[in-house]
Each structure stands twice: as structure tokens, then as C-alpha cells.
Structure 1
């Protein structure tokens, strides 16, 4: 692709080691040489050393909220870069601001979360208005359906699916050699079912004394994430259940832990828009148990066991059966690797490239 793309991060999305979330990691994974990253000032060494990065510092103009001033600063960066396409991640209001103030600019809005809870896209009328000035890419079919809910069928022509991608390790630790460990990795919040994981472990630990239970994560994706009331309240329950709460760890450490653990659990209460943790666990060769909510069934397919996480007793039964059956764990892990291969980085890049090209060449309106 010979033309440049300005990739605009959300105002609070990190893009440095030790301070990066799921969106930043995917932008780094899929970035091509033609991509220019636009985002907030870096908190440390950039994820892509040597790659062009425009740090945005909102000024005092225009008057209004910080989000408006951030969008205006992004617009100034876009004018300097002069890209063929502006790819705005997860911020409909920023995408609308750029499209409105730069007539003729091709804009692709990439959604990683449910737009019905986003400023500037929370009603069918607002979402239809967006499609008059930009194209939209959603990371899952479930998310695409959420965007199109309440809109005419013809609107679907400008809304595509651009899945996340995962690096598939060439070799993984065989199940027979894996640590007898049940792992939770992700934000330690109620939406992610962190408390349900602890409650399930409390039931499993007495009957599986040779197993360990571990949680990696904090409230935020950064090493200096402060303890929240939820995390503080969960700590004594985790200690009583024998769950090791390791706190935030860099992404590479999380992947390494998945590569050693026998079982990974993704017990989300909320409808996951995609389910990157589940995909990474399958790619790493772990046996996966995941919630059936949101985009998770689409990502997991036959590569994991889908189980409602609430009540925790049901989650404990499903995980416990896997703990007791090494052959079932091995078979499930093999299916998971096959499922993860469908979400390769090459495939994800091809999908994103096709939607960028469609955005560039499509007639406005």
C-alpha cells in the first residue's frame, strides 16, 4: 500500500512498554511502514522504536472539553501528515471532528468496544450520521451487529469486520509438561469476572491440592495502577482461596505465563467485544474456559469451553473437570491452537488493508 495512513489513538491509550492497553498493542501488531501513529505523549520507550509517532498535547483552543481539544490537536497533526486515510480508534467523536473539519478526508473509524455506550455513537441517528462521512470497521461480527442495530440494511455496506490478530508461537509447551496452574489474566474488575474466578478457585483448591491458582492484572494496563476498592476488597478472598494475585505485568510476561499454564479462564460478566485474552490463551497452547458473552463465542469457536461464569459453582465444575482430565486438556488445547490460527496477524492485516482501500476509493455519503 503506497499511501500513508494516520492512525489516531484514544487520548488515554498508551503506546510504550509498561503503559499500553489492548488497542495500543493491536495497533503496534498490525502497523505497516505506511502507518504514522498519532497519540498522547509517550510514558517511556515506544512499542515501535524508529516508527513515526506524533505525540499530541491538547492546547487551549478550541474552547470546550479536553476531548474536543484532543480532537483538534489530532486534526492539526493530520494536516501535517497529509494521509490518504485517517484511521481513528475507538473514538467516534474524534473521527467526526476530523471528518467535519477536513472536507474530503477519508476516515475509517475502528471500533474495539460497543459503540452504543460511546459519546457520539450511542443512538441509531448518531451512528447513521457517522456513516455519511466515514467508514467503520469493527473487530468482531458481534460488534458490527451492535453498531448496525436500528439502522437500515443499506448502512451495512460501510461497516466491515476487521478482527484482531495474534502471533502464533511456532512451538508451545506440551500439555503434559505444563504447570498445574489455572490462570486469570486481564483487568481486575467486576466486568471481567475477577471475583467469580476467585470464588471458583475457593471451591477447587481443596479438591485439587497439587494445583496453583494465579491472577495477573490490575485495574489499568500500567505498572503504576493504584489499588481500587474492588481490588482491595478482593485481596483477602484471594488469599483465603490460595490465589496468587501477581498484579500488573508487561504483556510479554502475560504471554509467557499463558505459555506455561495448563488452563486459562476468561470469566467475563460483560459482553466482550472481541476477547483478545481468550485468543492469546489458545495461541499459547493453554486449555481455555471462557464466558459465552459478546464476541467470545465468535473468537473461541470450538477451541475452548464456553461456560457462564455466574454462578461461580458452575464455572468451578467446568474448570474442575478439565483439571481432572489431562487428555481432555490436551485435546482442547490442540483445537484452540487451530482456532487461533484463523486470527493470524497476516489475516488481520489483510482485513484492515481491504477496509482501508475500500474507504479510500468509496464515494462519500
Structure 2
């Protein structure tokens, strides 16, 4: 079976600029899968065979980027003649490519009601008639089907290859970690505020932050980043900036506590899953898909509720038995998202779609 996976236009498929979608695609891709996206520098991620698309110029150069990217994708579809197309996070593009006469999977990682081609119930209803829709959490499924009758929207959660995670040290550091984009939605400033409030009550503990405004080394400076970094320095937090994914996982393996204080409703919450799988105790926001991911393995705290994040931090810092219990439950919860079963589910979904087409 030849599968062609279409990345979002701005998703880098390289180790030094990969976001959650690219990492997931690389993790799940079979060696014969074709992954298409915009041009990268250096070596691509290992999953599948990466093909950089060339957007058309000439009369097309004045068109919107989305249109030019669609045309480039259509060219690759004609060239490779896949049995199945999988489009990540772009409803309008998935709908357009469904006109190629090949089965299309639309895999949603973010709220469809914020996406071009899926904002209105009528658009989402039409999508279900032309593409097969997958989402990474029950929360996203509810968002897709809001104001609609129940429909064929399949939950296919993100996954991790647990066997490849870094080996943790024999004894973990008294370390509290924030790892994520340095933006308000991710609650970076809430983490700084909470640590500043509790650090004097946590002798021997330290805090670090990994992240920048974007998933790349040359991320832009923003007023938010400047403000948060100034506050973090005042609170004694070590700032590490952007780090590659393997470095983030190594930091999680060393940390005792990982905090995921997102303000926006995380559609899934891969950082929380990685932290649990790495053996850290987790504090997470109770919004979006995060409660599904952490189950009963984490402490939940709203980032802007007075004292909530601070109290959760102190509970874990002061109670080693509670940390141990969270770690044990976290390992058990993370096993539900292991790569092997996820690959089997994806394989069956692909085979079913291709088989249904052949019957028509």
C-alpha cells in the first residue's frame, strides 16, 4: 500500500525544527510511506521518504500560499499515484485533495472550529461526506461534532515509542521543568509566577525552562519572551531556550516534576505524555485533552486560579510518596499510548479505507 502523507505547509520535517505533528508522522510512518512538505535544510526526520514540494510560480505566484501549496501537492499526487492520502491538520486542503479520486484521511491535531474549511457546522458535515476524519482526543471529537448529529469521527490518540526514551539516572534531581513554546497560551508566565512564589519554601530544588517562541533555534524575540525571561531570571529559573526534541526528553528523564500549565485547551498534550513516560511527576492544566492524557496520574491545576499551581508544586515537592505514586501511575498511563498498538490501529484504518474504495 502506497500512502502519501501531507504535512501542514509550515511544519518542518527536520530534527532542528520539528513540531508535534512532524514527530508523530515520523514515528508512525512506514519505510515506503511518502511524506511531503515544504523544503527543509539538512537531513529529514527518519520516518518514510520525505519529498519537498516545489510551489508553482508564473501565473500562480500571486495566489495565496494555501492555493500554491495545494497545487504543489496535487502535482506530487499525480507523480506518485498513492493508494491513500493522509492530510494533517488542514481541512480545506483535505477537501480539495479528495477530488483526486483517492481516499483521503484528515487527521486533526487542533480545534477544527479554528481552521479554514471547518469553522462552520455545515463545512464539517461536508467534510465527513468526502474524507475520513480522525482526531487525537475525545475533546477534539466533541469540538468537531458540535452542533451536528453524531458522525464517523475516529479518535486516534498520539503515541510514543517508549522503548527509545532516554534512560533516567539512578536518582532524579530536585528539578522542576517547564518545556514548551514560550507563549501565553502555554502558561510560561504562570510557571514563572508559581516558582517565584514557592522557591523559598523548596530548599535544594531548582527550576529550568526549555522553549522559545517557535520550534526552531532562530525563533523571533517577542515582548512576551522578553518579559517572561526577565521575570524568570529574577525568580532564579535557568533558561535553556529552544532545544531539540531528544534534549527535551533527556531533561524530562532527569526532572522530578514537569509542569504543563496551558491556558488554551490543549487538543492532546504530548508534553504531559512524554513527561509521564519519562518518569516525572506531572502537574497539568485541566483543559482540553490534557485530562484524557494524564488520567489519574497527574495533579490538575488551572494556571490562573489563585494559588492552584503554587499549591500543586508544594504538594509534590514536600511529599516524596505522592511523587512516587504519580510516577507509578504515570508509567501505567503512558503505556496506553505506546507506538506498537498505535501502528496496528493505523494500519487497519488504512487497509479499510483502501479496501472500501476498491469495492466501489
Shared fold (TM-score, shorter chain, > 0.5): yes
Task: Name the CA distance, whole Å, in 2 between partners of 1:274 and 1:151.
Answer: 22
> How far apart, CA to CA, are the structure 2 residues paired with 1:265 and 1:227?
23
Q: Partner of 1:89 in structure 2? A: 88
| 1:324 Cα deviation after fit | 0.6
In the alignment, is the contact (CA less than 8 A) between 1:137 and 1:355 conserved in 2? Answer: no
Residue of 182, 190, 203 corresponding to 1:196: 190
Match in the other structure for 1:223:
217
Structure 2 CA distance for aligned equivalents of residues 140 and 172 of structure 1: 28
RMSD of aligned alpha carbons: 1.8
Query: Displacement, 1:172?
Result: 4.8
- CA contact 1:161–1:351 (8 Å) conserved in 2: no
- TM-score w.r.t. structure 2 length? 0.95
In the alignment, structure 1 segments of 5+ residues that lack a partner are none
Residue 206 of structure 1 and its aligned partner are, at CA, apart by: 1.1
Which of 110, 125, 137 is the equivalent residue of 1:128?
125
Length, aligned pairs only: 356
Q: What's the counterpart of residue 150 of structure 1?
A: 147
Q: Give distance in 2, aligned partners of 1:341 and 1:144.
A: 22
How far has the Cα of 1:76 moved from its partner? Answer: 0.6
- Contact between 1:200 and 1:312, CA under 8 Å: does it hold in 2? no
Contact conserved, 2:138 with 2:155, CA < 8 A, in 1? yes
1:43 to 30, 41, 62: 41
Residue 207 of structure 1 pairs with residue 205 of structure 2: no
Distance 1:200 1:179 in 2: 19
- Compute the displacement of 1:272 (Å): 0.4
Contact preservation (8 Å) 1:160, 1:355? no
Q: Matches of 2:230 and 2:148 in 1, distance apart?
A: 47
Deviation at 1:209, TM superposition (A): 2.4
The Cα offsets for residues 25-79 of structure 1, whole Å up to 9 and x where unpaired, read as: 0000111123110111112211118x42210121135462111110110111011
Q: How does 1:145-184 map to 2 (within 5 A)?
A: 145-153=142-150, 156-157=151-152, 159-169=153-163, 172-173=167-168, 177-184=171-178
Q: 2:296 aligns with which of 281, 298, 302?
A: 302
Separation in structure 2 between the aligned mates of residue 171 and residue 256 of structure 1, nearest angstrom:
6
Alignment match, 1:289: 283
Q: How does 1:335-346 map to 2 (within 5 A)?
A: 335-346=329-340
Separation (CA, whole Å) in 2 of partners of 1:212 and 1:226:
27
Could you give the per-residue CA deviations for residues 297-323 of structure 1, whole angstroms, max 9, x where no partner exists? 111001211221213521011111100
**Which secondary structure does the structure 1 equivalent of 2:39 belong to?**
coil
**Is 1:351–2:345 an aligned residue pair?**
yes
